Amino acid sequence: MSGVFIKVIALGQTYFAVKTRQQELQELYHLLNEDERRLFIRGDIKQKNMLLFAAAQTAGISTQREYAVFQDYGYIGLYGGETAKIIAARKGLPSGAEILDHMGSEELAANLFRITQTEAKIKRDDVKTPADANATHKQVGESVRKTIKELGGTMPENLPTPDKSVKELESETRKQINGADGTAD
């Protein structure tokens, strides 16, 4: 057998393994309660935000301040003009709180879609400047918002803020796993 043929077979096997795992995860997702869904999506967002950060860097965004501005453009698009600071204030969050930790699964999913599509569009369109990256992020946020509206969904700013943050849920989960006294069961 040729090396190319073996690589094609290996790629095919990998593809079907990944697709099988995706199907399993989709089936399991429907069994999760709201808090478990939040934890699942928030974990996904953490990973996807790293890819978005890398894409933003290729577009010339190099400082934390520039990245914060870039993130605000995505929020402005998705939240009808609201920046992260405005979202945090509306949710009644303390200074420095991570707004993504204070979202329900539906709101997190809208943000995950915004993040993944912005990263893909920056790459696809070969965006090279911070101004273009900001405009792209805002445009994608607006498109996600428009889709939510067309589907008759609730705008993200009108979704309820959960009582517990993702960090609190993670802490509770760790305690359940380790037992109340902090030792493993």
109 and 19 within one domain: no
Query: Mean pLDDT per 10-residue run, the chain (185 residues)?
Result: 65 63 64 93 96 97 96 98 97 94 98 98 98 98 98 97 94 83 52
185: in domain: no
111: in domain: yes
CA distances from residue 113 to 3, 32, 129, 168 in whole angstroms, order as listed: 38, 20, 22, 24
Q: 139-172: per-residue pLDDT in tens?
A: 999 999 999 999 999 999 999 999 999 999 999 9
86 and 58 within one domain: yes
Model's pTM, two decimal places? Answer: 0.81
pLDDT (0 to 100) of residue 177 = 86
137: in domain: yes
108, 45 contact by CB (below 8 A): yes
CA atoms within 13 Å, Cβ hemisphere of 161: 14
149 and 72 within one domain: yes
Question: Burial level of 72, CB count in 10 A (0-12/13-18/19+)?
Answer: buried
In the block, residue with structure tokens 């273009």:
132
87 and 5 within one domain: no
159: in domain: yes
Q: What is the mean pLDDT of the chain?
A: 89
pLDDT (0 to 100) of residue 91 = 96
43 and 26 within one domain: no
46 and 25 within one domain: no
pLDDT (0 to 100) of residue 69 = 98
111 and 23 within one domain: no
What lies within 8 Å, CB to CB, of 60 at 6+ separation is 128, 129, 130, 133
Total structural domains within the chain: 2
Domain that residue 2 falls in: 1-31
